[in-house]
Amino acid sequence: MTNSRIKATLFDGRDLFYFDDERSALPKTRTADQREPGERPQTAQLRFDPLTREWITVASHRQQRVFLPPAHSCPLCPTTQTNLSELPDNFDVAVFENKGPAFGPATGDIDYPGNPFGFATTSFGRCEVVVFSPEHQGSLGNMPVERVETVIGAWMDRTKELMAIDGVIQVFPFENRGEEIGVTLHHPHGQIYSYPFVTPRTQLLLESVKAHGKSFFDDLIAFESSSERVVLESEHFIAFVPFAARWPIEVHALPKRNIQDLSELTPSEQKDLAVFYKRLLQGIDRVYPTPTPYISAWHQAPKIENRDWIRLMLQITSPRRGEDKLKYLAGSEAAMGAFVGDVAPEVTAQRLREVI
């Protein structure tokens, strides 16, 4: 079930959506953006890497982003007389198009290179920001279950609409949490990237699934669910530390039913996921006395043939390997893509089970 949604437009033509909690007391109409009309930046460039056959976005306008602004000038707090922010009115959860996106605002199909050297095209697609709360401080894991449900409802709504855009191949909702991960705004928020191609990570997954067969995800769940790495199970979802975890903290979660993305959740699955996801995030924050930086990534099936072979999958990872120690991607990982794990996945799972 998607929560009630109000659509608005920002000063430069970008879309803004308000998603209210089920029992929200907020009005059904909202104040318009008071800023002077403006122009949107040019769409970034997409360059083809002939070595890996991957796409690299060159978005130099992103260098000018605001960096960790205080609450009185935060672009994600509701607008005040002295701070005309990106949110013209109060909200529970709000989603708007990114001001300086890595993909879009132009949309369409990308070209593919004949000659792999020096090939560039337009970085079509769309990037959105999902603001979890009007409060400047806080974290999604500590918000009421009802709010987490609204955030999931927003992801569901956006996944469905973004997948319908011409040229969008894959939709990726995610949250970077913590300065250590490179967050430039403290205000609790996530993002949604809509790519004009299948991402490299998903490309590899597709090959693994193809090699194993259609039963890949059922077999994966059967394998992991009978292991000592399970950390949480609900009626509709199961979470575990994967057999070959790369990060000091790494949790994967799958729906038991074969669905391809968040837009396919039933109302009871959405409610179940809200409780389940909140417990996972809270647990990760309880591993150490202070909040843990993490990346929470919703892997969703791209627009491809045999799309139903790919299941929705959540992957939460953190580079934190001690109270004040982070794992950095050094030679083997960054240069070769060959990970060396510092903690046995079974040990991570046991630690997480104690705090979830």
Length of the chain: 356
Stretch that binds Zn ion, among 4-12, 72-80, 137-145, 154-162 (CB under 5 A): 72-80
Rounded to whole angstroms, how far apart are CA atoms 45 and 352?
Answer: 41
94 binds Zn ion (CB under 5 A): no
Q: In the complex with Zn ion, which residue's Cβ is closer, 99 or 187?
A: 187
Q: Which stretch binds Zn ion (CB under 5 A): 55-63, 115-123, 187-195, 280-288?
A: 187-195
- Nearer CB in complex with Zn ion: 75/302: 75
Q: Is 61 a catalytic residue?
A: no
Among 16, 44, 46, 76, indicate the residue that binds Zn ion (CB under 5 A). 76
Helix, strand, coil percentages (3-state) for the chain, rounded to 5, are 30, 25, 50
The answer to whether residue 189 forms part of the interface with Zn ion (CB under 5 A) is no
The least distance separating Zn ion from the CB of residue 71, rounded to whole angstroms, comes to 5
- Interface with Zn ion includes 136 (CB under 5 A)? yes
Q: Are 65 and 43 in contact (CB under 8 A)?
A: no
Which two structure tokens, joined as six digits, stand for 116? 């792999």
Among 158, 187, 271, 278, interactor with Zn ion by CB under 5 A = 187
Report the residue number, 30 or 187, with the smaller CB distance to Zn ion. 187
Query: Where does this chain touch Zn ion (CB under 5 A) — which range of 118-126, 136-144, 159-167, 285-293?
Result: 136-144
Q: Measured at CB, which residue is nearest to Zn ion?
A: 74
Which token pair is 12?
């430069």
Smallest gap from Cβ 34 to Zn ion, in A, equals 18
The count of other CB atoms within 10 Å of the CB of residue 10 is 20
Return the range that interacts with Zn ion (CB under 5 A); candidates 12-20, 47-55, 70-78, 325-333: 70-78
Listing DSSP states for 250-302 in one string gives EEEEEESS--SSGGG--HHHHHHHHHHHHHHHHHHHHSSSSPPPEEEEEE---
Q: Are 159 and 262 in contact (CB under 8 A)?
A: yes
Minimum separation from the CB atom of position 58 to Zn ion (A): 29
Phi, psi of 322, rounded to the nearest 5 degrees: -170, 170
**CA 119 – CA 35 distance, rounded (Å):** 39
Q: According to CB under 5 A, which one of 74, 151, 239, 259 is a site residue for Zn ion?
A: 74
Q: Does 77 bind Zn ion (CB under 5 A)?
A: yes
- Minimum CB distance to Zn ion, residue 350 (Å): 37
Catalytic residue among 187, 189, 252, 299: 189
Half-sphere CA count of 212, side-chain side, radius 13 A: 15
Closest separation between CB of residue 129 and Zn ion, Å? 12
| CB closer to Zn ion, 187 vs 351 | 187
Q: How far is CA 184 from CA 102, 177, 178, 190, 337, in A?
A: 15, 10, 9, 12, 26
- Kindly state the smallest distance separating residue 66's Cβ from Zn ion, in Å: 11
User: Which SS3 state, helix, strand or coil, does residue 138 take?
Assistant: coil
Indicate the residue among 187 and 311 with the shorter CB distance to Zn ion. Answer: 187
The footprint of Zn ion on residues 282-341 (CB under 5 A) is none
Return the bridge partners of 148, or none.
none
Restricted to residues 14-53, the positions that interact with Zn ion (CB under 5 A) are: none
Question: How many residues lie near Zn ion (CB under 5 A)?
Answer: 5
d(CA 108, CA 312): 25
- Residues that are catalytic: 189
Contacts to Zn ion by CB under 5 A? 74, 76-77, 136, 187
